[in-house]
Amino acid sequence: MAKAETKEYLACLAFAYFIRNNNYKNNPQHKEEWINLFRDFRVGNIKKEYGEYLEYNFDYSKLKAKYNFYDGLGNPHLSAVHNQMVSLFDSGFIDNSKQYKVYTQDSSFVQTVKDKCLERLHKIFSESFSSKSKAKDLTPADFYIVDSSKINDIKKDFNQSIVNPKSDTTILLNYKKDKTKTYEYMLLEYFKKKELIPVSHKMPEDRDPMTSAKIGGNIRNIGKGIDKKNIDPYSQLVVLLGSKSPREVEKIIDSVIDIKYDKWDIRESISSSTWKLIFDFNYKKIDSNFDDSRFSLEPLPSGGSGSFNGKFYIQKGGTKMTPWVAGMAPRSLEPFLKSYSGYNNIMMLLSKKRINVFDDIIFDEILKQKRNRTEANKELTSIKKLKEYQNCTRVLSDRKFHTFNELKSKMEPFFNKMQYPDGFEKFQKEMIRKIRTEGGFRTNADSIKSERLSEHYISLQMSYFLFVGGQSFRQFLKKSIFFTIFGAITKRGINKISGGMTNIITKKFNNKKMYKDVEVSLTSAPHIILL
């Protein structure tokens, strides 16, 4: 179960404030009055005023601990979240005639419609996910706006159709035979009636940022009459591609997505190493009503895990950026990368470099002792027969991206046995030098702090994959990898390009009575993206 962050609690209280005080267009003091709630924040008073719009166990104390103030303007989040609510209520997604309550991820309601449902579906469709993926990866929703008069009906529907069926086959057959009982269909229907609205919330850092509220996810059947400025262009792109031939899909993606290799940036400091690759989405080529967008994809190496995340530029030509969108681990990306026809060749080159560097380090250490190249070569030949050496080369030759712990568990025992205590560190530094040099970047690996060395190494593995693939890889990256990675990271769509548009989450099952090897799919349900 995901835990609600304090900023999500703030957004929920802001929603309650707007429901109770819906005169924001006519009251020039509306924002000031909202901020003043936190000037000597009194839990009892706030609960009495806004409790009817919030879950019964809403944790007001979290807000008091972080946002209570006496002097000044208070935390910038107070102003930013007010701006977000203006965007949300201006969008037309909220029906003021409904009896709305808002629920965080800590509520029993969300445990039913999100946690329990997605855990069940994640288990059923487990073959489509990496071992590191989690059920929460299936939706970006941080909190839910709900018509309180429909709460029991909503919980009943999701429990009966997703949570409680004894057989997985029952659920799978619904995806083939009765779509009305599938997770995304039920969410869609409640969403269209404005009775259940999942919200993906990202908090701006500035007091007066540009904010937006847009529909994301599978919006193919969302209906007419929605202002295009309130439709997530990427989700609209997914809809468009779903109706096109493979040749048209390739042409549209090539036109809309522009990888800015001229802005390719590997940044290195004593404490960290990372890279940034910028993508432009030229959405105006789809529809002049859409705004073009710029997105920065970056690895976030931490403890050797090398997870990925990204930010949007608030304005395409500017420098200000949104908060991080979500994130995913490298292992989650490997299935996408492996679909590239040149994957094995690129990873073979990388594995050969690893082994060559490994052998060179051993040889140099031997040569220091023997001072004779012939004798050193004989010693190296003998060392290669050791089990510990073979354990290392087995890992290094794997055509995959390593985690730090994988390498450490094999290489440190070997170097300790050889009495080369700094061997593992030398290996990482030399690999960093080679990768950066091949990419045309300078480096001073010796200046890197030992405790941060693994982060440099893990980050640069992906760097190598990105720049060594050449023009053919860049086209593949545009068509197949980035399209999928972007949709997965932002949770705006779970699709891939393979000839045409296909769903990435599928399962084949055998039902002897009616179906045999029936393929079904799970798609990203509609939600509000609040930036």
Which tens digit of pLDDT belongs to each residue from 68-114? 999 888 999 999 999 999 999 999 899 989 999 999 999 999 999 99
236, 237, 240, 241: CA torsion to nearest 10: -150
Q: With a cut of 70, say whether residue 311 has pLDDT above it.
A: yes
Q: Give the global pTM.
A: 0.76
Q: With a cut of 80, say whether residue 328 has pLDDT above it.
A: no
Examine the domain organization and report whether 222 and 263 are in the same domain.
no
pLDDT (mean) for 383-398: 90
Share of residues in the chain with pLDDT > 90 (%): 31
Examine the domain organization and report whether 181 and 317 are in the same domain.
no
pLDDT at 266: 65
Q: With a cut of 70, say whether residue 491 has pLDDT above it.
A: no
Examine the domain organization and report whether 224 and 258 are in the same domain.
no
Examine the domain organization and report whether 397 and 249 are in the same domain.
yes
Q: Domain residues for 294?
A: 245-491
pLDDT at 18: 96
pLDDT band (50, 70, 90) for residue 365: confident
pLDDT at 102: 96
Residue 506 domain-assigned (yes or no) = no
If one compares 378 and 517, the residue with the highest pLDDT of the two is 378
Q: How many CB atoms lie within 10 A of CB 76?
A: 15
The mean predicted confidence, pLDDT, of the chain is 82
Q: With a cut of 90, say whether residue 149 has pLDDT above it.
A: yes
Q: With a cut of 50, say whether residue 431 has pLDDT above it.
A: yes
Question: Reduced to 3 states, what is the DSSP secondary structure of residue 218?
Answer: coil
pLDDT (mean) for 269-274: 59
Distance CA 293, CA 282 (A): 7
- Tell me the one-letter amino acid at 21: N
Residue 388 domain-assigned (yes or no) = yes
Give 39's DSSP letter: B
Examine the domain organization and report whether 191 and 270 are in the same domain.
no
Residue 500 domain-assigned (yes or no) = no
pLDDT band (50, 70, 90) for residue 142: very high
Examine the domain organization and report whether 183 and 94 are in the same domain.
yes
Distance CA 240, CA 243 (A): 6
Q: With a cut of 60, say whether residue 271 has pLDDT above it.
A: no
Distance CA 64, CA 74 (A): 12
Examine the domain organization and report whether 111 and 215 are in the same domain.
yes
Q: With a cut of 70, say whether residue 239 has pLDDT above it.
A: yes
Q: With a cut of 50, say whether residue 493 has pLDDT above it.
A: yes
Q: With a cut of 70, say whether residue 480 has pLDDT above it.
A: no
Question: Reduced to 3 states, what is the DSSP secondary structure of residue 222?
Answer: coil
